[in-house]
Structure 1
Amino acid sequence: MLCSIAGSTIRRARGLWRNGSEGAELNLQDVLRSLRARWVTVGLTVLISVAAAAAITVLTTPMYQATTRLYVSAAAGGSVAEMYQGNRLSQERVLSYTELLKGQTVAQRTVDKLGLDMSAAALSANVEATAKPDTVLIDVSVRDTSPIRARDTANTLSDEFVGLVRELETPEAGTPPNARVVVEQRASIPTSPIAPKPARNILAGLGVGLLLGIGLAVLREALDNTVKSRQVLEETAETGVVGSIPLDKERRKEPAIAYESDNSAIAEAFRKLRTNLQFLAVDNPPRVIVVTSSMPSEGKSTTAINIALALAEAEHNVVIVDGDMRKPVLHKYLDLLQPVGFSTVLSGGASLDEALQKTRFEGLTALTSGAVPRIRANFLDPWRPRSSSARCGRGSTT
């Protein structure tokens, strides 16, 4: 019986999410699983986003804002009707005045008055005028990198606007103006900048980083077609798993397990694997077991040796054959001679009985790889290795 520990060739996982159905829809459990598996990605993305937000905050030049408040009134008579009409005219003028405050005429007067090193257009871009709903009040705000200059500019701009309105609303010399503007509240030196806002920027960086991290984690999990669990392996390969051996990096130093005195987790795992192999077909016990792997250096030699030792522990006569013609290591692990072995038998240089070597383990005989041939294509005829393996199987219980 031919039994492969890894099962048949593993096909690539299908679908974005490996839950046993092709093209499965995304659900909350999938997202949570992705976050658990990719928490490092999420954490790094959050850290990078927060660091970027902090850097932007530090590198951004502070901007200060000073605000004045203007009061608008229109000429009116002493009667109630005339006073109401005057109030209506004042409210109507407020909307027009807010546009004039943001214009370049009053801005140019302010630049000339203060001798500012900027154009009227540049100043206008930093002026904001807003009217309070259903009132005759206008708030004028000026932004600047200097808190003192912001205050001086706001106050001067308001004073210049008062003069501009007086000119516009006085029809003839000597007559009272139709409307007038009074500076109701002058600007003071701002104590803190309006930008940047460190707390707001950090929170924004945290939120953006979290969203990007979650999205990146979900995307990486969706595009990841590697096999990471027994369930995924069984679903992908459409076959059962015979055994699972825990990873033990220290096993490289001493690959062969001394089963007579070893009750470790890895030894028990190989014993369980031995039992599963024996019961794969009770009426037709396995005679030949092939151990392979999808990539080099995945531990197939260590696995093969310990399966053989586990079977020998159960009083089976076992022959282990090293068919690795690239980097054979069986002879090193078992302290055997390499020159005469599997390649020698395949080339007809020695008989199988002559090439077999006894090991220091009771019940275990080994056939090393032999000399590594320069041209390996001559040894790739599948019938020749199979014939030798079958002869080993006939000569041993397993």
Structure 2
Amino acid sequence: MDLLYYIRLMRRNWLLILLSLALGVAAAFTVTANTPPKYVATISMLVSGYDKEGSLSTAYQAGMLSQQRVQSYATLLSSRRVVSQIASGEEVARIQANITVEAVPSTVLLRATVSDTDPARAARTANALGEAFSRMINEIERPTPNSRPTVKVTMVDQADVPTVPISPRPTVNLAIAIAIALFVGIGSLVLRDRLDTTIKSSETLQQASKSSVLGIIDYERDARRHPLIVRKEGRSSRSEAFRSLRTNLQFIGIDRQPKSLVVTSCLPGEGKSSTSANLAITLAQAGWRVILVDGDLRRPSIPGYLGIEGAVGLTDVLIDKARLEEAVQTWSEPNLSVLPSGRIPPNPSELLASRGMRQMLATLSETYDMVIIDAPPLLPVTDAATLAAISDGTLLVARYGKTRREHLARAVDALSSINARVVGSVLNFTPARSNRHYGYGYDPKVKTLTSV
């Protein structure tokens, strides 16, 4: 997967990303509005040692003693002992939690900050803390009660009342919210795409089926109510897709052109029956002598699609209850004949694997230019594999967003195990990028050639 793939993924799901950004911005404004402002007051203190004799050596020793004390004082400054001198009760813990002390590197300076929702109170607390700490150091650093302290702490900079709060920061909150929203939105898209094993591109279908993609059939809203392409004078996008499939079928084997073709899918509901019917219609429109055989002896659907009677058909011929000529029906297309499934038998697999089925298929292949067999799905039953074994080729139909790669791999393995020839695959119900169909047609109202 390259960068272009992810760009396309985000472009297809831009509404989800926009929704994620909107939620992030709303969360940022909510957090900012509900966060009380916080102010920070800062004091600076100098830690120094007493030079008793005024000599250079004693001054150096006093400086070293001050540097040694700085790190310890940084911890001591926020201790309960110091804070309890300026507050009492529950205030001690609150003030301790809002004190930050740092020792300025390579110096003998201490910097203490006190945060509070009240700017004036923050400044008073910081100044009082500095004074209390200076007094405490003056007491604990005396060798004896009456001697001078060895180290003293002097407040260098007192705290001023802050005017600008350090939080909330609307710009920072908004930037963080946008970053998190983009990360969550795009991350969820990529994760969902990586976990989704359904077929959603011709490249994925080609890899999973190990065969060429011969056709991509667009989804149309009225395809369920009107599955055949004879409507709209054959000028729909689905009609063009089936014409393209017809053209590609002519080039799948120059030296070994199949005369019998099994059309099947992995599971029910992937559009293999409508593909069989429309492919047969398209071939017949091109002048081919075609017969469409309903080989689904469990759930036949071809008679319903074509609007014909299906009481007598394939099963009657195989059990010698009817002759082949009597069971075959002609359809509205002059070159298209149909052999319905007939009555549903109790043993479909045995009938399809019989010698009579082989002989009948050989007869049909000699009579017609193309025999198209609508077979049951491959994975639930073995009927399709049985038909594929005695036919010249198999066309696999996959449904966009429903057929899974693992199911397609199992179907291909099942066909490979019986040495069936997979001539190609079709991606069905793909989302149409545009409802506009480009081509040339004749408008009887205008009486001129127009682009439609």
Deviations 1:365-392, CA, capped at 9 Å, x for gaps = 2122223346645545354444433333
Q: 2:318 aligns with which of 346, 356, 361?
A: 346
Note if 1:68 corresponds to 2:43. Answer: yes
Q: Name 1:328's counterpart in structure 2.
A: 300
Q: 1:296 aligns with which of 251, 254, 268?
A: 268
Structure-2 change in CA distance of 1:260 and 1:358 (3 Å): farther
Structure-2 change in CA distance of 1:292 and 1:87 (3 Å): same
8 A contact 1:31–1:218 mirrored in 2: no
CA distance in 1, matches of 2:138, 2:175: 48
The structure whose RCO (Cα within 8 Å, separation 6+) is larger is: 1
Deviations 1:136-163, CA, capped at 9 Å, x for gaps = 5422222345545433332222221222
Note if 1:108 corresponds to 2:84. Answer: yes
Instruction: Choose between structure 1 and 2: higher strand proportion.
Output: 2
The normalised TM-score by structure 1 is 0.72
Note if 1:319 corresponds to 2:294. Answer: no
8 A contact 1:35–1:218 mirrored in 2: no
Deviations 1:199-258, CA, capped at 9 Å, x for gaps = 444444544555566666555555554444334433443333444444434333333333
Give the aligned residue type for 1:70.
M
Aligned to 1:138, the other structure's residue is in SS state strand
- Residue 336 of structure 1: how far off its partner (Å): 1.0
Deviations 1:13-49, CA, capped at 9 Å, x for gaps = xxxxxxxxxxxxxxxx635424533664993777777
Bigger Cα displacement from structure 2, 254-263 vs 321-330: 254-263
Matched residue count: 366
8 A contact 1:75–1:86 mirrored in 2: no
Spell out the pairing of 1:102-181 with structure 2 (5 A cutoff).
102-112=78-88, 116-119=89-92, 123-133=95-105, 135-144=107-116, 146-169=118-141, 178-181=150-153
Spell out the pairing of 1:140-289 with structure 2 (5 A cutoff).
140-144=112-116, 146-169=118-141, 178-195=150-167, 197-208=169-180, 210=182, 224-258=196-230, 261-281=233-253, 286-289=258-261
Q: Name 2:342's counterpart in structure 1.
A: 370
Aligned to 1:309, the other structure's residue is in SS state helix
Structure-2 change in CA distance of 1:382 and 1:219 (3 Å): farther
CA distance in 2, matches of 1:32, 1:283: 39
Structure-2 change in CA distance of 1:62 and 1:345 (3 Å): farther
Deviations 1:158-196, CA, capped at 9 Å, x for gaps = 221222233234566776655544433333444455455
Bigger Cα displacement from structure 2, 165-174 vs 41-50: 41-50
Q: 1:357 aligns with which of 312, 320, 329?
A: 329
Structure-2 change in CA distance of 1:381 and 1:106 (3 Å): same
* Identical aligned residues as a percent: 36
Bigger Cα displacement from structure 2, 137-146 vs 187-196: 187-196
Structure-2 change in CA distance of 1:198 and 1:376 (3 Å): farther
CA distance in 2, matches of 1:382, 1:367: 17
Structure-2 change in CA distance of 1:75 and 1:327 (3 Å): same
CA distance in 1, matches of 2:231, 2:42: 86
Structure-2 change in CA distance of 1:335 and 1:211 (3 Å): closer
Q: Name 2:75's counterpart in structure 1.
A: 99
Aligned to 2:239, the other structure's residue is in SS state helix
CA distance in 2, matches of 1:383, 1:55: 76
The CA RMSD over aligned residues, in Å, is: 4.1
Structure-2 change in CA distance of 1:309 and 1:70 (3 Å): same
CA distance in 2, matches of 1:315, 1:128: 89
Structure-2 change in CA distance of 1:276 and 1:75 (3 Å): closer
Unaligned segments of structure 1, at least 5 residues: 1-28
Structure-2 change in CA distance of 1:263 and 1:133 (3 Å): closer
Q: Name 1:381's counterpart in structure 2.
A: 353
8 A contact 1:73–1:86 mirrored in 2: no
Give the aligned residue type for 2:85.
R
Deviations 1:44-66, CA, capped at 9 Å, x for gaps = 77777777777766676665432
8 A contact 2:32–2:170 mirrored in 1: yes
The normalised TM-score by structure 2 is 0.65
